[in-house]
Amino acid sequence: MTVIDPGMLTSVQTLGSRPCPELGVPSAGAVDTLSVKVGNRLLGNHDYDAALECTLTGVTVRLDSDSHIVVTGGEADCFLKGDSIRAMERWKVHKVGAGETVQIGGVRRGARVYLCVRGGFCSDRNSFGPSTNLGAGFGGFGGRALRAGDVLTFNGATGDPPENLHVPPMVLELLERRTLRAIALPMAGRFEQEAANLFWQSEFTVSNQSDRSGIRLEGPAIPSLCAGRMISEGMTFGAIEIPQSGQPIVLGVEHPTTGGYPVIACVATVDLPILGQLRPREKVRFEQVTVAEAHRLLRSASAALRRLPPQRDYSL
């Protein structure tokens, strides 16, 4: 597959690499893991096969051999151009012939589109696995975003992908949620009750200054008791930091592994894929759930995905 136009930011990503937080290496990988997982399952791939993550502006690629592809994630116009031009439905497997061009337009809803291919994309070998860590410059394709002219190969998979698979309604419902479920952290010495109330009751706007390392939010300033800084400690994808400005930062997949800002809450694991679909200027809110409720939500989402079985044949 040859990249004709990579758009503003396209990279090779999987469900996540082998994280080494003791060496400062976060999991990286796709921000919206749900779209990658569903795309791979529709194609009969393994869950951890690599896909292309395209941000906001879409991507154009040319297939150099016959293959099957599927486009998942945000809403965008997709076309297949060969002898004729065909509109290509998202979340459906399409057979593509050598020489045909796949054109994915600007993302209209959501922020990221995933292009998955039968067999998954090949990527660089390193200590941490196949995903691109763009900040640290390793993994994926040369440790960087794709450029026009790059030639990607994919792992061979024989036969056709499974047929009659349907995307569970839960997937699209979840990715369209803009009220993120989150777990409150202990407030002692960090926040007063009033600050916490302000956080849980307010609506925030996604800032333009958001990327794979974090999503900056704009809204009422949330005051903290530690003047914005504490003793540095371990951080995780989805932790919501409150810096001195009071404007929350939701940590992304390429987050710093440690940080010194107080954390007011963490986005529930079930809702993390939504972070990959938040687009600049969109409004978000947070809804408080307990740890037990968050686990229940995760189990139920995981059960809904069982109707789309993962590939378990490792000879592929």
Binding mask 140-179 for other proteins (x = CB under 8 A): ---x------------------------------------
Phi/psi at 47 (nearest 5 deg)? -55, -35
Contact between 82 and other proteins (CB under 8 A)? no
Q: Which helix (H) or strand (E) holds 201?
A: helix 193-201
Among 106, 135, 223, 246, binds other proteins (CB under 8 A): 135
Residues 16-35 that bind other proteins (CB under 8 A): 19-25
d(CA 125, CA 112): 25
21-40 exposure pattern, b = at least 16 Cβ within 10 A, e = fewer: eeeebbbbbbbbbbbbbbbb
Residues in a beta bridge with 218: 205
Q: How far apart are CA 309 and CA 79, in angstroms?
A: 28
DSSP type of residue 172:
H
Told to check if 183 binds other proteins by CB under 8 A, we report yes
Structure-block tokens of residue 147: 């450029």
- Collapse the DSSP code of 176 into the 3-class scheme (helix H, G, I; strand E, B; otherwise coil) and give the result: helix
Shortest distance, CB of residue 89 to other proteins, whole angstroms? 31
CB 14 within 8 A of CB 130: yes
CA 195, chain centre distance (Å): 30
Q: Pick from 65, 244, 300, 302: which binds other proteins (CB under 8 A)?
A: 302
> Binders of other proteins: how many residues, by CB under 8 A?
45
**Residue 40 found at the interface with other proteins (CB under 8 A):** no
In degrees to the nearest 10, what's the CA dihedral of 200, 234, 32, 130? Answer: 180
Cα 75 to Cα 308: distance, rounded to the nearest angstrom: 21
Rank residues 1 and 242 by Cβ distance to other proteins and give the closer one: 242
Q: Which stretch, 53-61, 63-71, 149-157, 259-267, contacts other proteins (CB under 8 A)?
A: 259-267
Q: Which stretch, 52-60, 90-98, 225-233, 274-282, contacts other proteins (CB under 8 A)?
A: 225-233
Give me the least distance between CB of 274 and other proteins, in Å please. Answer: 15
Nearer to other proteins, 80 or 237 (CB): 237
Q: Which is nearer to other proteins, 126 or 155 (CB)?
A: 126
Asked whether position 256 contacts other proteins by CB under 8 A, the answer is: yes
Does 209 participate in binding other proteins (rule CB under 8 A)?
A: no
Between CA 112 and CA 57 the distance in angstroms is: 9
Residue 231 interacting with other proteins (CB under 8 A): yes
Please identify, using beta-carbon distances, which residue of 127 and 153 lies nearer to other proteins. 127
In whole angstroms, the minimum distance from the beta carbon of 299 to other proteins comes to 7
Told to check if 309 binds other proteins by CB under 8 A, we report no
Q: For the CA atoms of 135, 133, 112, 255, what is the dihedral angle to 10 degrees?
A: -60
Q: Which residue has the tokens 């809702």?
A: 271
| Interaction site with other proteins (CB under 8 A) | 19-25, 126-128, 133, 135-139, 143, 182-183, 185-186, 231-236, 238-239, 256-259, 263, 265-269, 291, 294-295, 298-299, 302
